[in-house]
Amino acid sequence: MADEPTRAREPEQRSLWRRYLEFPLIWKFAIALVAGAVAGLVIGEPITVIEPLGGLFLNLLQMIVVPLVLVTLVVGVSSVAVTRLGKIGLKAVAFYLLSSFVAITIGISIALVVNPGTGLSMPAGGDEEPEAAPELSEVLLDIVPDNPIGAMAEGNMLAVVFFAIVVGLALSVLQTSSDARTRSLADHVRRFFEGGTEIVFLIVKGVLQYAPIGVFALIAVTLGETGAEAILPLANLTAVVYGGVALQIAVYALVLTLFGVGVASFFRNAREAMITAFVTRSSGGTLPVSTRGAQRMGIREPVYSFTLPFGATVNMDGTALYVGASVVFVANVAGVDLSLGQIVSVVLVGVLASIGTAGVPGAGVIMLSLAITQAGLPFAAIALVAGIDAVLDMARTMCNVTGDLTGTRIIAQTEEGMLEDHDTATEAASEPASDEAAVEE
């Protein structure tokens, strides 16, 4: 009889845990940010007693970085048959990589001018000396690892990315071999990496469930030590990201003009997808609305049916911009002057890693972790950025979707017969199926 109250409490405990798991992550981060800020400002320096909770969060992030990049990139690259990519695919890859490069360059450039994070102290436990900045020639040479396992152990993310892309391309070639035994072996290897991807995604999901606790602890400790001084630098970072996104969208408008596309008409047809992306913070979830926008622009299905899903998977202009700005923020918090080699390595990681991390939950924080690791910066300040990640995520997701539609429209413009008449396009976009699909998300 004494055990009955204990058994009665078990379903209630499971119910509370289930409710926590089902509670939206955006609200968990928001609550953690506000609660941590209040606790730090009210309690002051004694709040540093909870510092290990934040340290655990940082260790968990560092733990998943290398395996995440390795397995997701191998699966992502090997999923595209090299011999079947075609002109549309090559144009899409070129545009998305170039636009991501421009975006992260914009993010870094604006941040270097505004210098968000200046005057802010590193959170407790994160004041260790950063690694020495490598020379630019060394950065470029180290892209090709002499020891891939060593590169993984050292956290050389560019080398890990390069190795994973090479493995993915080789696996893609083997899957189209004329030899049945070779194809079978390649299928087994691909399933191995797909299984690894599922395992890593599950770990990432678990880390993100703990993340609000880590964010609470690190924000509280930071504000407990520095007071309200951290609020202005975070506001500056938010302004940099939103200003950078506005500039990136202006770049899209310029490129559209150069290709003879009407800018006003483009944004009139794209605005519904842009607003949806801003609200939902999901490029994949916005796909039905993006598709309807492409139809309204008169783009034919052979183009948008490939470029939009592909862009939602690999194109992360807004996230690349956010990573560039946030790396400068972290460097300023750490009191580090970024060298040319560090800046170049961050740009390369930001562009290349987007192939593997776009579909990962919390992709922005993961990509930022990669860039900070590659630049050799202290890891602790990432929690400051994670605390306002939801606010930044709205702008960067809108930028991601706008970039997808821009690339789709330009590719259609350069492919003969891939644009319909305006009236036909309007009729196609008004089909009920599109509306139903948009509501599903």
Q: How many independent structural domains does the chain possess?
A: 1
CA of 212: how far to CAs of 119, 322, 392, in Å?
A: 25, 20, 16
Whether 40 is in a domain gets the answer no
- The CATH number that applies at residue 74 is 1.10.3860
**Position 210 in a domain:** yes
Q: Express each pLDDT in 83-100 by its tens digit.
A: 555 677 788 888 988 998
Helices (DSSP H) in 47-179: which residue ranges?
Answer: 51-78, 86-114, 136-141, 148-154, 157-175
- Residue 437: predicted pLDDT: 37
Q: Which of 109-113, 151-155, 278-282 has the lowest mean pLDDT?
A: 278-282
Residue 28 lies in a domain: no
pLDDT category of residue 268 using cuts at 50, 70 and 90: very high
328 within a domain of the structure (yes/no): yes
Residue 114 within a domain: yes
CA distances from 305 to 166, 270, 412 (A): 27, 16, 12
Give domain status of residue 166, yes or no: yes
Contacts of 363 (CB under 8 A, 6+ apart): 316, 319, 357
Residue 436 sits in which domain range? 48-440
For helices 263-280 and 287-296, what crossing angle results, to 10°? 170
395/422: higher pLDDT: 395
6 within some domain: no
Give the Cα separation of 419 and 416 in Å (integer): 8
Q: Tell me if 18 is assigned to some domain.
A: no
Report pTM: 0.66
- For 200-245, write each residue's pLDDT tens digit: 878 877 887 887 888 788 778 777 766 666 677 788 889 999 999 9
